[in-house]
Amino acid sequence: MLRPLAIALTLAVTPVSSFAQTAEQTDAAAKQAESGKPPLRIRSITLTGNQACPKSSNPDAEIVVCARQGEPYRIPKELRDDKPIPAQNQSWVNRAAVADEVGRRAGGLPDTCSPTGSGGQTGCAMMRAQQYAAEKAEAKRQAAAIP
């Protein structure tokens, strides 16, 4: 019984909310929306540093879109320092992962290649495979660093 009443009330209120949205538009924007034509000019500007977005010279015929550039002076790939990051400069995620791995090995949990605990031996092959992959990646990185 209340459901039809709620639906009727919702439908009665919906047109009122759409009128409130159009009332907030400026006259120029309203004219543009009613005409159905795209703006004559769209300016897309990339800003760097503290530059301010310029204002539109003709609001009726022009839209200005501003975007910020992340790294305007990027170091070329061959000049970048790709050495491992020192432990004190690592993110907390990496530090937590190392602490978790140390705790797993000390507890002798499965897949840890630990001589203590049940199932500690199951991780030895996995650990060797990870070491091999890390050594290959390091050799590839060093080979790429040689000019």
Kind and range of the H or E run holding 139: helix 124-145
pTM for this entry:
0.36
One domain for residues 111 and 136: yes
Asked if 67 and 112 sit in the same domain, the reply is no
List residues bridging with 44 in a β-sheet: 65
Residues 92 and 139 occupy one common structural domain: yes
Q: How far apart are CA 63 and CA 51, in angstroms?
A: 18
Residues 80-123 pLDDT 10s:
777 777 878 888 898 898 888 888 777 777 777 777 666 666 67
Domain count, the chain: 2
Which three-class secondary structure state does DSSP give residue 71? Answer: coil
Q: Are residues 53 and 96 in the same domain?
A: no
Whether residues 135 and 94 share a domain: the answer is yes
Give the span between the Cα atoms of 71 and 67, in whole angstroms: 13
Cβ-based neighbour number of residue 59 at 10 Å: 15
Domain that holds residue 63: 25-72
17 burial (CB, 10 Å; 0-12 / 13-18 / 19+) is exposed
